[in-house]
């Protein structure tokens, strides 16, 4: 709306025949700038989409690691088995009640891994006495490493990946594209305003896409905690 309003005001101040004199030069520059801007804008859209897709995969890996670790310690003797499972259940509760709501509000999550550190210490310092316990410990250690790695990746990807300087470049490019559109002369000025509206709307939509996917845990396309909720219910059914 602002772009169309500004263009309408611009049209009132400059005659179409005067602008048409520069259509050849302005059209050439508009095409060149448009290609460059389209490549940059498209590249950023792809980058944030890949980040979102990777974050979804990391969350699924983290949930799966907790579930596999919960089952891996089945061969551990008491009270170690119950202690490890209690720490894992507490970690799942922490995800649902604390970390996910904070990430949904774009609040930096305090990397409180006390539950995981206690659990990892119990898994790694356990001294197996049978072959079954030794195999269970090896499997559990692998899942501990997998859990810590996926958690670290999730926290890294929760932060915005498009810095302020890049947003400045995107906005500057959008303003430049619209400015070149203003400099093109046309006999049918209402149709030219429609074209300006389409151009501005397309850029705005891509800006929204970038902003939404750059914050994978907030917004309308946020990653939900459904996996953790389902795991919480599943853990209660494991004897």
Per-domain residue ranges of the chain = 2-235
Each as own residue / partner, the long-range contacts of residues 75-83 (CB below 8 Å, 24 or more positions apart, any chain) are: 75/132, 75/133, 75/135, 75/136, 76/126, 76/133, 76/136, 76/137, 76/140, 77/133, 80/122, 80/126, 83/122
Average pLDDT of every residue of the chain? 86
Confidence of residue 112 (pLDDT cuts 50, 70, 90): low
pLDDT for residue 20: 66
Averaged pLDDT, 119-131? 90
- Alpha carbons 125 and 115: distance in angstroms, whole number: 16
Averaged pLDDT, 156-182? 87
Confidence of residue 145 (pLDDT cuts 50, 70, 90): very high
pLDDT at 59 over 90: yes
Confidence of residue 17 (pLDDT cuts 50, 70, 90): low
- Alpha carbons 70 and 232: distance in angstroms, whole number: 11
pLDDT at 102 over 90: no
Contact 238, 71 (CB under 8 A): yes
pLDDT at 19 over 70: no
Of 8, 66, 49, 44, residue with least CA distance to 238: 66
Find the Cα–Cα–Cα–Cα dihedral 145, 148, 150, 155, rounded to 10°.
-160
Averaged pLDDT, 199-221? 90
Confidence of residue 63 (pLDDT cuts 50, 70, 90): very high
Q: Where is average pLDDT lowest: 44-58, 95-109, 214-228?
A: 95-109
Three-state secondary structure call for residue 161: coil
């Amino acid at each position: 709306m602002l772009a169309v309003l500004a263009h309408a005001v611009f049209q009132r101040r400059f005659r179409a025949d005067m602008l048409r004199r520069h259509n050849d030069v302005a059209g050439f520059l508009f095409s060149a700038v448009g290609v460059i801007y389209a490549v940059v804008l498209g590249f950023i859209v792809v980058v944030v989409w890949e980040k979102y897709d990777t974050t979804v995969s990391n969350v699924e890996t983290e949930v799966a690691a907790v579930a596999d670790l919960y089952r891996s310690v089945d061969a551990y003797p008491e009270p170690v088995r119950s202690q490890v499972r209690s720490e894992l259940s507490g970690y799942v509760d922490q995800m649902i009640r604390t970390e996910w709501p904070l990430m949904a509000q774009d609040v930096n999550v305090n990397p409180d891994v006390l539950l995981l550190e206690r659990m990892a210490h119990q898994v790694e310092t356990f001294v197996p006495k049978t072959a079954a316990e030794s195999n269970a410990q090896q499997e559990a250690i692998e899942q501990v490493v997998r859990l810590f790695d996926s958690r670290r990746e999730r926290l890294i990807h929760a932060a915005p990946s498009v810095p302020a300087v890049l947003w400045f470049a995107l906005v500057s490019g959008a303003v430049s594209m619209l400015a070149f559109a203003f400099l093109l002369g046309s006999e049918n000025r209402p149709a030219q305003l429609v074209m300006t509206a389409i151009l501005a709307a397309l850029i705005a939509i891509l800006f929204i896409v970038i902003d939404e996917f750059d914050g994978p845990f907030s917004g309308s396309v946020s990653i939900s905690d459904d996996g953790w909720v389902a795991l919480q219910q599943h853990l209660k059914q494991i004897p």
